[in-house]
Amino acid sequence: MKNFNYNYVILFYDVGEKRVTKVFKICKQYLKHYQKSVFRGHITPGNFLELKGKLKKVIDPEYDFITFIQTMSESSFHEESMGNTGIDPESLII
Amino acid sequence: MSKSNETRYIFSSGELFQKDFSIVLRKDEKNIYLPIKDTRELYCFNDITLSTKMLQLLSKAGIIVHFFGYHGNYIGTFYPKEQLISGRLTVAQALAYKDKRMMIAGAIVKGIARNIYFVLYHYYRHGKNEFKDYLDWLRKDVPNLVDKTNDINQLLRVEGAIWAKFYQSFRTILPESFAMNKRVKRPPDNPINALISFGNSLLYTKVITEIYHTHLDQAISFLHEPAERRFSLSLDLSEVFKPVLVFKTIFDCVNNRKITVEKHFDKKLNYALLNESGRKVFIEAFEERLNQAFEHQTLKRRCSYKHAIRLDGYKLIKFIMEEKSFTPFSLEDKK
């Protein structure tokens, strides 16, 4: 799976209260806010490195946990959801 | 699942401001975060408040903002500081206007004819035999006519004739309620004219964005007179894409009843104006078409129509700088 061009990422974070806003602020520059601690969206490999670098500086590796799931595009996975998000962060028209 | 888009269309009124080096839209007391690294352009169709701080960030990130008025009319563009500047190309482009204007303008007119031919050929194949004369004229006579002209006004007459005949063909393709007698602009006076005007101005802004990402100078155009006030080069480059992107979207929306006169037009204004839901339907269909990918024949890879616009810009640069022949995008050859 190494030689693929990943262009889409789903990010989950679980960080200490003090660092939540810091992580949130960084993520929202790159990805769309999808759920309380979940971001996702298109990202270029270059921007992905940038994002990881920035996050690395903020988190405490002892306590915090951030995970990225990379896929080729939003069409390469199937998704089911329930309930209502309020605003759709990904719609074309706001 | 919604389609990814680097383009956001803002229909609600609100305030755009910058927070933590990113874009936030404040709407009904709620913040909507737009990731700055995944935004290419914004379209504002409603009252939007912006501050210079926001513009500063947009400019730094190279994000273009297009503004539209209450009636969906194009107002203007926030054009960030140009990052791709090439003096050499600008000089060459201006010289090309002097020496090679007819070649480029002619290639564009031929491109229009080719794309209209291919769009209408679909209907001809499905039994609309009345197009035969027009199609033959487009394929055989137009290239000859273009080659023979050596005067820009003559060429513009040919272009005018192509479009006029194309509009007449609408009678056969579209239902009665979208009948078209004459192209009327500023302001359009019936549903079909309104659709065309709206579609064309959307395409025009898309081309501005694409040209922004090349080294070309927006003001030096070839087919259209390089007038003041306007970015006329994008009028030139948008021309060949009109049949492919705007008119195919219109045919799709109208014939598949996605847009109807009663539901999606303003009744008070004699149905001469798209209402908000009509605009949304059209934009969605248009955006989908732009992002549709096809197999590019010279590049040998998948490429979206949006990208094809930029490739046309590159072709023009190649022609100006390296004398490679310029053939605008052709739907038939897919290149």
Per-residue pLDDT reduced to its tens digit, A17-73: 999 999 999 998 999 888 888 998 888 888 899 999 999 999 998 999 999 999 988
DSSP letter string over B129-190?
Answer: GGGHHHHHIIIIIHHHHHHH--SHHHHHHHHHHHHHHHHHTHHHHS-GGG--SS---SS--S
pLDDT at A1: 55
Per-domain boundaries in chain A: 8-92
Closest by alpha carbon to B217, among B317, B119, B76, B74? Answer: B317
How many angstroms separate the CA atoms of B194 and B190, rounded?
6
Average pLDDT over residues B182-205: 81
Residue B102 confidence class, pLDDT cut points 50, 70, 90: confident
More confident position, B163 or B180: B163
Contacts of A42 in chain B (CB under 8 A): 4, 6, 38
| Residues in a beta bridge with A72 | none
Average pLDDT over residues B25-30: 85
pLDDT at A11: 93
pLDDT at B229: 60
Q: Does A81 touch chain B (CB under 8 A)?
A: no
Q: Check whether B4 has a pLDDT greater than 50.
A: no
pLDDT at B28: 83
Nearest to A94 among B10, B22, B36 (CB): B10
Q: Does A75 touch chain B (CB under 8 A)?
A: yes
Q: Are B217 and B93 in contact (CB under 8 A)?
A: yes
- Class assignment of domain A8-92? alpha beta
Is A14 labelled as part of a ligand binding site?
A: yes
Residues 36-55, chain B: which have Cβ within 8 Å of A? Answer: 36-38
Neighbours of B314 (CB within 10 A): 13
Pairing of strands B22-27, B14-19: antiparallel
Q: Does A87 touch chain B (CB under 8 A)?
A: yes
More confident position, B303 or B130: B303
Whether residues B32 and A91 touch (CB distance < 8 A) is answered with no
Average pLDDT over residues B135-148: 84
Q: Are B108 and B236 in contact (CB under 8 A)?
A: yes
pTM assigned to the model: 0.87
Q: Does A82 touch chain B (CB under 8 A)?
A: no
Neighbours of B141 (CB within 10 A): 12
How many angstroms separate the CA atoms of A69 and B112, rounded?
45
Q: Write down the residue that tokens 């700055």 correspond to.
A: B36
Q: Which ipTM score applies to this complex?
A: 0.84
Residue B228 confidence class, pLDDT cut points 50, 70, 90: low
User: Which phi and psi angles does B67 have, rounded to 5°?
Assistant: -110, 135
Q: Check whether B57 has a pLDDT greater than 80.
A: yes
Residues 262-321, chain B: which have Cβ within 8 Å of A? Answer: 280, 283-284, 287
pLDDT tens digits for range B113-125:
889 888 888 888 8
